[in-house]
Amino acid sequence: MLLNLIIGLPIAILCLLLQAVLIALCLRRYVDYRQNLTQPTPGSTILILSLVMLLMLFGNFLQMAVWALLFVTLGEFETFAQALYFSGVTFATLGYGDLVLSAPRQLLSAVEAANGILMFGLSTAAMTAALGDVLKQYAQQLRATSPN
């Protein structure tokens, strides 16, 4: 059990660092983009929100791949495709149960699931921040154009 934590926690920390870097890059680019727009259009808003979502999703997929690589390295799965499928199901906390880790490594799946739910929460927070900013800007535009 302790060995699984010693193996799993550094991977979870690596995933947290990856997520932090992607969120920082994503939100910085979002802010730069929004500040350079003189008059945001629905199309530009859809574009930037879509890019935020795609970057967060890419970050989650990248983390699933990191976990899958660990599982292949440990000999839990013969192919990377199997490991990635298992990792995706576990990271997203779906837990189908059609593929499982060997008994000595089962705690790693719980560590990955905890890591995944946290990372999806952070992705949601980044998206919510961007969406909140869009709504705030729309409200400001409405106040500026409405007769008092």
Can you list the domains of the chain with their CATH numbers?
2-142 (1.10.287)
pLDDT at residue 77, rounded to an integer:
97
* pLDDT-flagged residues of the chain (< 50): none
Answer for the pair 71, 87: CB distance below 8 angstroms, yes or no: yes
pLDDT digits (tens, 9 = 90+) for 31-69: 888 888 877 788 988 988 999 999 999 999 999 999 999
Does the predicted TM-score (pTM) go above 0.85? Answer: yes
